[in-house]
Structures are given as C-alpha cells and as structure tokens.
A and B are shown apart, each in its own frame.
Chain A
Amino acid sequence: MSRLTALILAGLLALTACSGSSAQSGPKSLRMTVWTANEAHLKLLNEIASEYKASHPDVTEIKFDSIPADGYTTTLTTQIAGGNAPDLAWILEESAPDFVASGALAPIRGKVEKVDELVPSATKLWQKDGELYAYPFSTSPFGLFVNTSLVKDVPANWTWDQAIAAAAASGKGLVLPDFKYQNWAVLSAIWRGWGANAWSEDGRSCGFASAEMKDAMSFIHKAIFTDKAIPGPGTTVDFFAGNAAMAISQISRAGALKDAKFTWTLVPLPSGPKGDYAVIGQAGVGVMKRSKNAEAAADFLGFFTNEANSAKLAQFFPPVRSSLLNAETLAKSNPLIKPEQLQSVVVEGISKGVVKPSHQGQEELNQTIRAALDPLWKADADVDSVLDGVCAKIKPLLERK
C-alpha cells in the first residue's frame, strides 16, 4: 500500500509541476474565447487578427475559440480551473461583477485608444477603483421587433398596455426569445418601465418585493395568463420564423431577419407607467491576468478595440465610442435597420440605458430566483406572495460579502 501512496504523491507532484506559470518570451500565440460561431463574425475577427500579426511578428497565432453561448461562462471557468485559461475572453454582462471583483482580469485602461470617449453608462460595469478591466465591445439595447405582416399599425410611441393589446389581438403574441421562463433577467426589459429593480444600486437589498415590481409582474402575469398575449411556459414560438407578432430582443439579433419571409420594423421599448426607458445587454472582452502572454494579449486588445476596428465591429456589435455612436456610422454597417430606428433604439438606448441586472455571485442568484419565481408561472399564482418569497430566498445571498 505504501508503494501506492508514493505513486499517488509522485503523480500529484508531476501535476503541480506542470501548472507553474511564467512570462514567455519569443513567439507568442494568443487564444480568445468567444460565444459566436457565426461565420461572418469570425471572418471579421480573423481579419483584424491577421492585420495585427502583420505588424507584430512576435505574435504567431491568434485563435478565436468558439464556445456555445449556452453554458459559456461555465465552460470558461472550467477551463480556468483546469489550468487551461485563454489569454483573452469575451465576458457576459451577468458575469461581469464576478470577473471584475475576483482579480482574474488584467487592468487595460492604459492600452485602450482614446479611453475617454467611451460612453460612461457602458463602462460602469467593467470598472473597479477607477481602473478598466474589460472593454465593452458590444452594447446592445433591447428593442421591440414587430412583424408588420401581422400587426399593421405600429405607433412610434407605444405604451405597454397598447403593445400587449395589439399582441393579443394579432392572435400570435409577443415573445421574449431568451427568457424561456428561466432567464428572468430578460424581464427587466419590461419591468424597468415600472421603475422596478432586481436589487438596490449597492446590490445589498432585494427589489422583488417593491410595489413597482409587484405592479410590473402583475402586468406580465396578466399578459400571459389572462390576455394570452405572451405564449405560456413550455411553449416555443419563433419570432424570427414568422410565428409571433412581436419580440423583445437585442438589436444584434436583427441579422437573423436577413432572409425573413415577412415585413418587420424595430421600435424602442414601449413606455411604462414611469415613462420612457431603455435596457441594454452587454459583452466585454478582458485579458486573463494569469495568462503567460498577458502583456501581448492586452496589446492586441488595444488594437482590436481601436477606433478603426471598433467601426468595423460596429456592423455586428454596437460600439461604445461616442465618435462612432451616431446613426450615420451605424447605418453604414447595418443595412437592415433604418437610420431613424438606429437613432431611437441604439444611439439613445446606449446613452440612457440601464444594463440588465448583474451582481456578484450572479449564477447562484440566477438559479435561486429562477426557482423562487417558478410558482409565478401558473394561471392562479398569487403574484405578491411569490415575489415576497423571492426576497426571502435571496436576502442571504445579497447580504453576503
């Protein structure tokens, strides 16, 4: 048995010996994890990478590693845990607080070209103590896509009551493609119109039991179960295939409508009792601090996000540079969306928008809230008591340091 123990110890030593890290000199190869597998996206990313390599002979390879969006963060953290962290990574807004606070990311402020022209509402999530830890390369507002083959009359300034009535009347309904009765954070695209928040600004107290939230959730519940304007739990309805009248989605999804067999338009989110508002989803790209090539990676990030490349990326990923954030620039690369739509949904959305809820320990909060909200998705649910229940469940998580 003692021989076995010795063998195990030897194995352990060998394992730990492999995981030591040190700065690397000589030819470098970089790897960036991304959640897109879209050919047009990857083609553009590779073009930018080739250009960088041409001027930086020491970087021999820049590889974009596509990980499916579903489970992206889980896969990324598993790679990090396994000692196989990428050099750069795309990060979803909901994981931003965890990544920024943990110290996993290298500071990049000094590497970003004209850092002062980044829109403050877009960089807020990625900063700590005045330092920037990821570049928000995609800031995508939520808008209301309407199938005008089904809904003829679309006023520019809808209220939620009117929009839901129109959705119900069309017989096809309004969908939230990413919600699936699981990703509750998507509902913030509706409840912000009531002035509701998942939690307070400092993240310490729960907002689900607030009067605003109860009103907003009652409205959503009624739209689903009484008005039948939103398809109920367990059913899948695809707006992009023409099966729904409206969809609340991010404008980066407009690409999916390229070959649509129906006519459509894009309008800002309807106004709620608290007036006009905007909600944005975000993605940042950061440099892993423990990467052997962190320096080179940060340098590439600076190039990747400079003014010229941001303009190129803008055709897929709405930019946060004030110099690029105007309808004319966006129109050049977004032939599917009209300039006035870009102005009202994208430009104004980004400047006045609130980012989808995110918090440290987001995934645990996600699962806890998902489970606590499940009783709400029944016709006879008591909205107020379900929401009080959500707060009871997440209180200890919010109060945790």
Chain B
Amino acid sequence: MTFWTYRRRDNLVGYLFVAPALLGSLAFVLIPLALVGWYSLNEWNVLGGTFEFIGAENYERLLSDEKLRESLVATTWFAAGLVVLNLSLALLLAVLLNQKLRGTTVFRTLFFSPVLVSLVAWTLVWQLMLQPEGSVNGLLGVVGVDGPNWLRTESAAMVAVIVVQVIKNVGLNMVLFLAALQGVPAPLYEAAKIDGAGAWTRFRRITIPLISPTILLTSIITIVGSLQVFAQIAVLTQGGPGTSTTVLIYYLYQQAFQFHHFGYGATISVLLFVIVAALTLLQWRMRRKWVLHES
C-alpha cells in the first residue's frame, strides 16, 4: 500500500492548481477580513504606537454614537435615491435603445462612455459644473430656473452626489438590461399582441418577468455599490454641508484615517460588512417571490 495512491495524487494536483488563487484570496481577502475583526476589539493609537485590547467597547460606542446615526440616515437616503434612480433610468434607456431605429448605437455608446471615464476626473469636472455660477445653473437659467448652490445646500448636495453617481454608472446597468431585453423571445410579444395586450401590459406581463433575473442582479450590484461610494463624496462635499452627505464609508474613513481611531474605524467596517451581507441575503431570499423560474 503506497501513500501516493492515484486518488491522493489527483487531489494534490487539484490543490496545486487552485493554490495560487487560494493564496491570493487568503492574503488579500481572508487575512485582512480577520484582522479587521481583531482590530475592532482593540484601541489602536497609531501615533503613540499603542495597541490595547478593549473587548466590546467599540461596539458599545456604536450604539451611543450620534454621528453614526446621522451617517446611517445619510447612507439610507443615498442608497435609496441611487438604486431607484439608477435602475429606473437604466431600464428606461435600455427599452428606448432596444428599438430598431437609426442611431441607437451612437446613443448606446454615449450613455455607456461615462462608465469608462476615470472616477475622480469625472467627479472633478462635475464639481466645476456644480458651482453656483457653473454650467448646470447656467443651463437651468436658460429655462428660467434659479438653481441652488448645489454642493453647499443640504438637500441639494445629496441630490447632486446621487445624480453624479447615477450618470456615471447608469450605462453599466443599461447594457445588462439591453442584453436581457434582447434575450426575450419575440414570438411572446406577437402572441400577446394578437390576444389584444397593449404596450404597457406587454411590458408588465412579459418583459418584466423575463428580465427579472437581471433586475435581481443589477439591484444587488447597485445596492452594494451604493454603500461603497467614497471618492465622489471625498471630492464633492467631504461629507458636508453639515453631515448631510457623510455616508457610512466616509464616516469610517474619517474615524480611522483622519481622527486616527483605527479600532473604531474597524468596528464601523464590521458594521458595514454586516449590513451589506444582510441586504444581499435578503434579496437572495426574496428572489423566490419575484424572480421568474425561481419559485
């Protein structure tokens, strides 16, 4: 009986093949993840070089932190606004660009191109356009609207960061929806037409159910993405005015990297992880209810 049986050798080869990827995710995903959990149980003074175990103290602080509550409210507004606007606009554009008309390719390219632009460059240009005397208010002035000081007024600042983010990324969801729309068999529409269904009924009864797996996918991606928006906030508003656009991840950055509370920052990132995981799980569970072929 030799140790290197055929089966064992086979396994070894398999492990060797996955080893590079496994080591990569171990070094860059799993270990950092475990470390964040560990840091969250400590008070870490970076400058003084002290690292002290304080148990659940940081987690208790989460409960009494008023700024955290403000930031959760801002995050909810941001995520809700972004998801609703992004998905409905993406679907609308996809339906419009799915028509067999001249020039749709040009528009598809146009709407997708912001996805390819560097995020910070995109945001900096918008920052200029959103100045009180900038081009956005200039355009609004043409139609007789007196635009607000976008980035310095509380409600307007939130709208501004949402819109900047939506226009940046709507093309990606649009392309996914387009692909899904083109996968809907044409005979279904013909049959519905013969049965007397109008355009809206056909959209509601045929299109929506058949592209529902894509709706699920895009909504998960968009919600998770909305919780991770950072550069736009850092460039456009730095969390202001007041704390109106201090979303969770920006608050995390402030605590850890600006205020040097690395332990508490790690605790907030554990909270963010839990929120993202819970939302994803929730949507995944709900797919049985509304995604076709899943029930």
Contact = CB atoms under 8 A, between A and B. Distances in A.
A8 B47 contact: no
B238 to A, nearest CB: 7
Interface in A217-264: 232-236
Contacts of B240: 182, 370-371, 374
A235 B243 contact: no
B253 to A, nearest CB: 9
Contact of B238 (A102, A182, A372): A182
B131 A236 contact: yes
A103 B149 contact: no
Contacts of A74: 257-258
Contact of A8 (B31, B151, B243, B257): B31
Contact of A99 (B47, B149, B243): B47
Contacts of A7: 26
B35 to A, nearest CB: 8
A186 to B, nearest CB: 16
B241 interface: yes
A375 interface: yes
Interface in A355-401: 361, 363-364, 367, 370-372, 374-375, 377
A11 B152 contact: no
Interface string B133-146: 10000000000000
B46 A81 contact: yes
B149 A364 contact: no
A13 to B, nearest CB: 11
A23 interface: no
Contacts of A370: 238, 240
B26 A233 contact: no
Contact of B48 (A103, A181, A367): A103
A181 B47 contact: no
A33 to B, nearest CB: 14
Interface string B31-66: 100110000000011111100000000000000000
B242 A234 contact: no
A86 to B, nearest CB: 13
A346 B208 CA distance: 71
B138 to A, nearest CB: 14
Contact of B260 (A12, A98, A235, A372): A98
B30 interface: yes
Interface in B107-162: 130-133, 149-152
A265 B215 CA distance: 63
Contacts of B17: none
B133 A290 contact: no
A98 B44 CA distance: 14
B259 interface: yes
List the 3 closest pairs (A to B, CB-CB), nearest first.
A102-B47, A374-B241, A102-B48
Contact of A364 (B26, B238, B258, B262): B258
Contacts of A364: 254, 258-259
Contact of B34 (A8, A372, A375): A8
A128 to B, nearest CB: 13
6 contacts: A15-B31, A74-B258, A99-B47, A103-B48, A374-B240, A377-B241
A236 B26 CA distance: 47
Given A7-B26, A235-B132, 19 more contacts: A8-B34, A11-B27, A12-B31, A74-B258, A81-B46, A98-B260, A103-B47, A232-B149, A234-B130, A234-B132, A234-B149, A234-B150, A234-B152, A361-B259, A363-B259, A367-B258, A371-B242, A374-B241, A374-B242
Contacts of B259: 361, 363-364, 367
A78 B257 CA distance: 7
A8 B30 contact: yes
Contacts of A361: 259
A15 B241 CA distance: 41
B171 interface: no
Interface in B1-46: 26-27, 30-31, 34-35, 44-46
A182 B151 CA distance: 12
B131 A234 contact: yes
A119 interface: no
A77 interface: yes
A8 B26 CA distance: 8
A4 B15 CA distance: 13
A233 B149 contact: yes
Contacts of A372: 242
A400 B133 CA distance: 42
A80 interface: yes
A235 B134 CA distance: 9
A104 interface: yes
Contact of B243 (A104, A182, A233, A371): A371
Nearest to A365: B259
B156 to A, nearest CB: 11
Q: Which of B243, B259, B262 has the most CB of A within 10 A?
A: B259
Contacts of B241: 371, 374-375, 377
Contact of A80 (B27, B46, B149, B258): B46
